[in-house]
Each structure stands twice: as C-alpha cells, then as structure tokens.
Amino acid sequence: MKSFTEMKVYPKNWETLKSTGKKIWEIQYTFINNKGIEYPRRIKGMNHIKDHSERVIETKKIMEDETFLLSRGWNPITEEFEEITDTIELIHGKIPFLQSLDMALKTFDITEGSAGDMKNSLIHIFKYSVKLKLHLKDIQDVTKGDIKQLLITMSMDGHSNYRINKTRTHLSKFFAFFTELDIFEVNFIEGIKRLEHTPKVKKIIRTDNDWEKFHKLQTIHPRLHRFAIIFFYSGSRIEEMLGVTKDDVDLEKGIFYIMLKKGGKHIRTMRAINMNAYDLWQQVMYETGSGQYLFSHNMKTGSNRLHRQSAYKLWKKYAAKVDLHVTLYSLKYAFLNQVSKMLGLQKAQELAGHTTDRTTKIYAIDYKEHQVERNKNIDIKIG
C-alpha cells in the first residue's frame, strides 16, 4: 500500500522563533510506494520569503498542497498520479483536475516524442494549478477563466509565448477528450486566443561551405553520411526512416513505405525514392538481409531498430568533427527549404506530409525571399 509519513519542518521551532528566519527551512517526510520502497523527501520552497510570519504561512500552504496531492495518488518520484484502489479506473467529472489530466494522457495513442512534449507541458500545468488552487477543483468545475488565468500567470512568470501556446494546445487536446466523455459540452480551450509568436529561423545547411563540411562526413563515417543523404531526400521523420526494413522497399518501382503516425493512427504510407539518392538505396539494400532494418546500430543494417536518440547522438558526435553545427533533423528543413524555393510551398507541404502550410512555412526559410525576387521580374507591358 502506497503511503507517506507525517511531514515535519526543520528547524523544530520554525513556528515560534523568529530568528529561525535566518536559517534554511525544509519540510521532510518519507514517501512509500506500492512496492514498499521508501523515498526520503525534502522541500525547501519557502526560503525565498524573509518575513517570518509570511514564511510560516507559506510553509503550511506547501504542506497542505503536498498532502492533498499525495492523498489523491500523486507519486512525487515518477511525477504521476497512480491508482490508489482498483475502483479508480474511469475518468469522470468528479476526478480532481490534475489527476484527470494524468489519466487522460495514459489513454492517448501518440508518439513517444508527442508524449514527452505533453508531459513537459504538464509540469507547467501542475505548478501553476497549485499556485492558483486549481488542483483543489474537480475537472467538471474547471472553467475557461481558470485556464486563461493559468496561462496569464505563466506569462507573468516570464514564459515565452511559444511555451504558453504549446501549453494551450496540449490543454485543448485534453479538453477535447473530456468533451467526448460528456464532462463538458464544448471544448472551451478553443475560445482562448493564441498569443502572437514569431518562430525562430531554423538553423540549416544553406551555404556551399556548410555542404562541403557535410560531405567531409563521407571520409570519417560513410554510413552516417549515406543515411543523412537518404534522409535528406526522403521528406520523412527520423523515427520513420529508422523503422524501414528491406521488405518496405521496392527499388523497381522507386518507392518505400513508412509507418506514419498522425492523429493517434498508424498509417502505412508510400514515399518516393528520389533519383539523387537511388544509388545509395541500392547500396544499402544490397547489404540488408530479409526483414532487417536498413539503418540499425552505427547506421549498419541489422535486426534491432535504432532509437532516434542514438541517431541524434551519433550525428552530433561526427558533425562536430567536421565543424558542422546543425541537427540531424535539420536536414529535413534544408530539403523542404530547397523544394519550396524551386517548386513552391504546396509541393514542400505535400512531401513533408503537413496538413497545413503553417508548419511548412517555418522550414521554408528562403521561400519568401525567392518570391520577392521573382516578383521583380514579372514582365507585363502597359497598354
């Protein structure tokens, strides 16, 4: 049975002796998980307050909030809510706000990267919910005004418009789910406006000098260089390319298949083998056995799927050796940038598999500049 010991504050005379305000206070307790493992916990979130009486009030508030969360199944080690009994299985209107978010996330069929993004947003949502006492509300009692206040508080704390918009987007996904459960009639998060945000210009390979550095990879890690070129022309994501096996490729037809995950669904999707990378596809197919992945450990063929983080680390290590300071994923941006410049934004959007051109425009760095140059040469005579 998961439990926690009584919370104690040190120094012991923290409530009565004003001189303790010069010392570091901490709340101590032990958290015991459902396997009986004990985890000592220390909380020092009150020490920024210098006034003794105000620090006492804040300390009591922290203990109250921590006790509330723990009693509702909060695991401070995993930073997730867990079931206290077998009876808590379904999400309903009387589930506490934060617990309902945690339970909902576990039902979402999303990629590992998307889940990581949402968990990151939950860290902020949890923090500001406790600040605003929203964690005391059941999910059915949370209002649009509550969420707006949460986002405003994030802004006042210095979070970027990008982070606030990201948090809003993730909250909208949660509340769309709650709407499907009839907890709400409408997803009122969509009634909260996004903040103005200008995306940063992506750092990509654009100059001849950078491409020269890129091709130096061929001498120090030819398989990584080969993968990078194939990935560049693929228009796909890293994890999609790492999932390609020999059986997914038809050289005669010039196509390969990826498992595209969009909106919680896995869709086997056809992609074209670009003519500029065809010879490299032939090479890697010759080296690959039936059922094997084309790009496994160290970018060799193999039976074990390579994790994308391993691919990122491999790229970072060898790109640094040739003084190339762009990410592996930025090769996709570089490709879309060139496609949009040559063939237009719509073609780049199609190749990237983006549902709207809003995302594509972030990558199409040279597109607007090229359009302006083209407009200079519109040859229309007057009269």
Q: What is the CATH number of the domain that holds 146?
A: 1.10.150
- Residue 373 has which token pair? 């140059």
In DSSP terms, 147 is beta-bridged to: none
Choose one of 191, 216, 237: the last residue of a domain: 191
Task: Tell me if 215 is assigned to some domain.
Answer: yes
What type of residue is 150? Answer: L
Cα 131 to Cα 128: distance, rounded to the nearest angstrom = 5
Asked if 251 and 315 sit in the same domain, the reply is: yes
User: In Å, how far are 131, 152, 154, 270, 287 from 127, measured between CA atoms?
Assistant: 7, 13, 10, 43, 51
Element (H, E) at 186: none
Q: What is the pLDDT of residue 358?
A: 63
- Residue 167 has which token pair? 């948090």
Place of tokens 């009584």: 6
Asked if 222 and 353 sit in the same domain, the reply is: yes
Task: Indicate whether this model's pTM tops 0.75.
Answer: no
Task: Tell me if 378 is assigned to some domain.
Answer: no
Task: Tell me if 167 is assigned to some domain.
Answer: yes
In the chain, the N- to C-terminal Cα span, in Å, equals 88
Element (H, E) at 106: none
Q: Could you give the strand order of the β-sheet that contains 255-262, starting from the edge strand earlier in sequence?
A: 249-250, 255-262, 265-272
Task: Tell me if 164 is assigned to some domain.
Answer: yes
Task: Tell me if 153 is assigned to some domain.
Answer: yes
Omega within 30 of 0 (cis) for the link into 11:
yes
Asked if 252 and 315 sit in the same domain, the reply is: yes
What type of residue is 363? Answer: Y
The conformation of residue 299, written as its DSSP 8-state character, comes to G
Place of tokens 């020490």: 47
Q: What is the pLDDT of residue 79?
A: 80
Cα 271 to Cα 291: distance, rounded to the nearest angstrom = 19
Residue 233's CB: how many other CB atoms inside 10 A?
20
Asked if 101 and 181 sit in the same domain, the reply is: yes
Choose one of 142, 160, 191: the last residue of a domain: 191
The conformation of residue 141, written as its DSSP 8-state character, comes to G
Asked if 257 and 175 sit in the same domain, the reply is: no
Task: Tell me if 162 is assigned to some domain.
Answer: yes
Task: Tell me if 89 is assigned to some domain.
Answer: no
Kindly report the CA angle at 65 between 63 and 70, in degrees rounded to 5? 90
Asked if 176 and 303 sit in the same domain, the reply is: no
Q: What is the pLDDT of residue 312?
A: 94
User: Which of the residues in the chain have pLDDT under 50?
Assistant: 1, 85-88
Element (H, E) at 8: strand 8-10
Cα 100 to Cα 217: distance, rounded to the nearest angstrom = 48
Asked if 185 and 216 sit in the same domain, the reply is: no
3-state helix, strand, coil in the chain (%, to 5): 50, 10, 35
- Domain of 115, in residue numbers: 97-191
Choose one of 81, 108, 127: the last residue of a domain: 81
The pair phi, psi for residue 14, each rounded to 5°, is -60, -30
What type of residue is 68? Answer: F
Asked if 275 and 222 sit in the same domain, the reply is: yes
Cα 113 to Cα 216: distance, rounded to the nearest angstrom = 30
Asked if 361 and 225 sit in the same domain, the reply is: yes
In DSSP terms, 377 is beta-bridged to: none
Asked if 212 and 355 sit in the same domain, the reply is: yes
Asked if 242 and 177 sit in the same domain, the reply is: no
Residue 272 sits in a domain whose CATH number is 1.10.443.10
Q: What is the pLDDT of residue 181?
A: 92
Count of domains for the chain: 3
Task: Tell me if 145 is assigned to some domain.
Answer: yes
Asked if 283 and 321 sit in the same domain, the reply is: yes
